Amino acid sequence: MDAKKIGERLHELRLQKGKNLSDVALACGVTVSAVSQYENGVRIPRDRVKSALARYYGLTVDDIFFAA
């Protein structure tokens, strides 16, 4: 998946959980700005953050970042 599609997926997951950017950032050990950039397709998270996001959303890294 490209950065834009990953961002859309992350945004959808956050909204489904009813969380805000601050909740996700705190849980994953990154800044609110970083989460915003991931969701807007500006940046792709590093592997450590990918793992943290997957744990947070109860999914695998593959489900979020590599699903077609």
Domain boundaries, the chain: 3-65
pLDDT at residue 60 in the model: 97
pLDDT category, 67, cuts 50, 70, 90?
confident
Assigned fold of 3-65: 434 Repressor (Amino-terminal Domain) (1.10.260)
pLDDT category, 1, cuts 50, 70, 90?
confident
pTM summary value: 0.93
pLDDT at residue 49 in the model: 98
Are 9 and 15 contacting, i.e. CB atoms less than 8 angstroms apart? Answer: no
CA dihedral 9, 15, 17, 18 (to 10 degrees): 160
Q: Residues 7-41: pLDDT tens digits?
A: 999 999 999 999 999 999 999 999 999 999 999 99
